[in-house]
Amino acid sequence: MSFNAKQCQIQRPYISQFHTQNNPHVRKCTPLPLFTRKCFHERSELRSVGFSVQLNPQPKLAGNPRILLSRCLPGKFSDPFEQDPGQNSITEQNKMVEQKKFSVVDILKQSNSLLPHVVLASTLLALVYPPSFTWFTTRYYAPALGFLMFAVGVNSSEKDFIEAFKRPAAILAGYFGQFVVKPILGYFFGIISVSMFGLPTPIGAGIMLVSCVSGAQLSNYATFLTDPPMAPLSIVMTSLSTATAVFVTPLLSFLLIGKRLPVDVKGMVSSILQIVVAPIAAGLFLNRFFPRIANSVRPFLPPLSVLVTACCVGAPLAINVKSVVSPFGATILSLIISFHLLAFVAGYVLTGLVFPKAPDLKALQRTMSFETGMQSSLLALALANRFFQDPLVAVPPAISTVMMSLMGFFLVMVWSKKKEV
């Protein structure tokens, strides 16, 4: 429909009234004298009330333009100041890519939460199909444990270890639990295994041998997963017990078992340097001087650590599966579980009695529990195979390697969930 200028002026109050009644939140338009070419420039004003104005571009009507006034649906015309839809889609795609990257990184970092399930699955797989882990022989144990210590070092700093050395009482308590509390429990279970359950004497000797060795590097990793700030303290405790085990382990084995074990001092010192000191120092060095490389490597360490831990648990079981499923296997299994369970409980309870006013008591109790309940059963297995003629002595250390890891990482899962709650 066509209108002349006067008719347009008659329609103006209607538009103003419609604007006021139906769109109070929109700024009120100023009256226009005529719907001339200025009307075209002010089209966005009229579009805000739901109308569009279109000029007829015929040149012969330039003095008195035809104006088509029609009701239109909102959103039909785009604001000249709005962003290009193509740019919006590109921006959204970039955001989606970034979110995917962050999600992948988060999944890699949170893979440690799957560790107890992976350890359990590797245990079952080693029992059902031993060849799946028999390839992981003893020569891979040192590099594997060294990799776990490297992962701890990358996520720590030198200040953490300096703070750990400022707690000599806690270090001494961990040493006491490692070489006093645990050997007493080992001697007790070794005696009752022979006297009450009628097991062969080499089985009792094997249980005692397990209680005489130093702390396990897996206890450091378990502490790191549960209470990361306490990991340096756990590493110091394990390093101290391992360094002195070259003298303490032969002495305890002679007192409890009655046999001297000629432990290779140079070999144990070399293993400490390779498994503990060098990997942690490399991780600290990378974190301190090459933070970009450390940040790029850090997300991949948790899933690799999970796989390495599964191999360290499944391989000893697969290699010694015949001894585990022997006629004495079930009885030995129950004794080893009871031994480790009491060791975990003793470390937790005694720490609460000795350090009742510690500001981080719960974290310290968990650390001591790992340190007392987990020991280097692989070292006991190596000593049994090397210095004892009876192969039954190696059965308790082989079972201890598996059960210690399963129980330790089960506690990791339980304590981590309680901290989240």
Write the pLDDT tens digit of every residue in 161-188.
Answer: 888 888 999 999 999 999 999 999 999 9
Q: What is the mean pLDDT of residues 195-206?
A: 90
- Condensed to tens digits (0 to 9), the pLDDT of residues 8-17 reads 444 444 444 4
**Domain definitions of the chain by residue range:** 5-71, 113-420
Identify the pLDDT of residue 345.
96
In CATH, the architecture of 113-420 is Up-down Bundle (1.20)
CB of 46 within 8 A of CB of 8? no
Supply the DSSP symbol for 56. -
Q: What is the pLDDT of residue 6?
A: 47
How many CA atoms lie within 13 Å of 196's alpha carbon, on the beta-carbon side? 9
Strands (E), 279-415: none
pLDDT at 302 over 50: yes
Nearest residue to 402 (alpha-carbon basis) of 303, 346, 332: 332
With 0-12 CB in 10 A as exposed, 13-18 as middle and 19+ as buried, what is 185?
Answer: buried
Question: For 47-80, what is each residue's pLDDT tens digit?
Answer: 444 444 444 444 444 444 444 444 444 444 444 4
Distance from C-alpha of 280 to C-alpha of 284, rounded to nearest angstrom:
6
pLDDT at residue 81 in the model: 44
* 207: amino acid identity, one letter: I
Residue 268: pLDDT band (50, 70, 90) is low
Cα 91 from chain centroid (whole Å): 32
Q: How far apart are CA 118 and CA 125, in angstroms?
A: 10
232 against 105, higher pLDDT: 232
Q: Has this prediction a pTM greater than 0.75?
A: no
Task: Specify which residues 51 forms β-bridges with.
Answer: 71
pLDDT at 93: 57
* DSSP assignment letter at 110: G
Three-state DSSP at 374 gives coil
Above 50 in pLDDT, residue 140? yes
Tell me what pLDDT residue 48 has.
Answer: 41
> Does an H or E element contain 231, and which?
helix 231-256
Angle at 39 between CA 36 and CA 42, to 5 degrees: 160
What number is the average pLDDT over the span 123-151? 85
Which tens digits make up the pLDDT trace of 359-416?
Answer: 889 999 999 999 999 988 877 877 787 778 787 888 888 888 878 888 888 898 888 7
